[in-house]
Amino acid sequence: MTTITVNNKTLDLSVPQVMGILNVTPDSFSDGGHYTHIDAALAQAQQMLADGATILDIGGESTRPGAEAVSEEVELERVIPLIQAIRQHSDCWISVDTSKAAVMTAAIAAGADLINDVCALQNQGCLEAVAASHLPVCLMHMQGSPRTMQLNPEYGDVVVDVKAFFQSRIEACISAGIERDRIILDPGFGFGKTLEQNYQMLARMTEFADLELPILSGTSRKSMIGNLLNRNIDERLAGSLATAIIAAQNGASIIRVHDVKETVDALAVLAAAQ
């Protein structure tokens, strides 16, 4: 049985777990009313936990293709108060989606349990920030940077190349003092991959199994669904559920989604058929 234990909590990764994507309002304004963006996010967090999410992923930077970078200050003020607020109300698993060492360190101090880095700890100080903690880390593959990644993705064989990237980042982590059993791998759907490359990774995710580490899969509402089906963002639920089930069947143990309730139902159907 594969488990991850941190901060007195254990996550059983022998069954797929659902990670809910928590919206962080881009504007950190407060209108002086009683219901702030923190309250709204807290309500969304409670709903996702009630619906069966075991992990909440909180990020303050948009990593959409073409998105502009966000300053450290803005990211900190979006993410840290929300982590603190959720931690006050719940002992759920809190994941912080960030690629900045200072945000990682502050999030860890605020009670985060997992570092989710789309840059796989390649930015300045990130290996050290995670090494100084006991937290697990998700290393995601991306070709290029969010601004340019969809321009011209090129691979020999996408699965082989992503796997080689994982090997090299695992080695970098271990050299920095991050134990192997703290690492989660993520092929990075939509991050510098064509439609065909994304579906090849989904179909061949079983090939990552010999690295013997948990796999996180994030396809929810992404362009690989929208472009395949010609569907707008609010019409991608069925496609998202299909990819979640395929990922789980092909060995993913954490599924990152917007639609928690529906994904939990779909995974329960899969479990019944095992």
Catalytic residue list: 222, 256
Buried/exposed 157-182: b ≥16 CB within 10 Å, e otherwise: ebbeebbebbeebbeebeeeebeeeb
Evaluate the CA torsion angle 142, 146, 150, 151 in order and state its sign. negative
Phi, psi (rounded to 5 degrees) for 5: -120, 130
Apex 111 CA angle, 88 and 220, nearest 5: 95
- The reply to whether 99 sits near ligand 8Y4 by the rule CB under 6 A is no
* CB-CB neighbours of 262 under 10 Å: 16
- The reply to whether 259 sits near ligand 8Y4 by the rule CB under 6 A is no
- The reply to whether 188 sits near ligand 8Y4 by the rule CB under 6 A is yes
Query: Is residue 94 classed as helix, strand or coil in its secondary structure?
Result: strand
Q: Which is nearer to ligand 8Y4, 17 or 116 (CB)?
A: 116
The DSSP call for residue 186 is: E
Among 138, 142, 159, 260, binds ligand 8Y4 (CB under 6 A): 138
Among 218, 253, 257, 263, binds ligand 8Y4 (CB under 6 A): 218
Could you tell me which stretch among 28-36, 56-64, 204-212, 264-272 binds ligand 8Y4 (CB under 6 A)?
A: 56-64
Q: Which is nearer to ligand 8Y4, 75 or 186 (CB)?
A: 186
**Total H helices, total E strands in the chain:** 9, 10
Q: Residue 149 CB, nearest distance to ligand 8Y4 (Å)?
A: 11
Please answer whether residues 130 and 101 qualify as being in contact, where contact means their C-beta atoms are separated by less than 8 angstroms: no
Show the tokens assigned to 26.
């881009």
Among 18, 48, 53, 63, binds ligand 8Y4 (CB under 6 A): 63
- The reply to whether 216 sits near ligand 8Y4 by the rule CB under 6 A is yes
Q: How far apart are CA 80 and CA 96, in angstroms?
A: 9
Please answer whether residues 71 and 114 qualify as being in contact, where contact means their C-beta atoms are separated by less than 8 angstroms: no
- The reply to whether 198 sits near ligand 8Y4 by the rule CB under 6 A is no
The site for ligand 8Y4, by CB under 6 A, has a size of: 17
Q: Residue 165 CB, nearest distance to ligand 8Y4 (Å)?
A: 14
Q: Which is nearer to ligand 8Y4, 36 or 246 (CB)?
A: 246
Residues 228-247 that bind ligand 8Y4 (CB under 6 A): 233
Could you tell me which stretch among 68-76, 123-131, 181-189, 207-215 binds ligand 8Y4 (CB under 6 A)?
A: 181-189
Which residues contribute to the site for ligand 8Y4 (CB under 6 A)? 59, 63-64, 97, 116, 118, 138, 140, 186, 188-189, 216, 218, 221-222, 233, 256
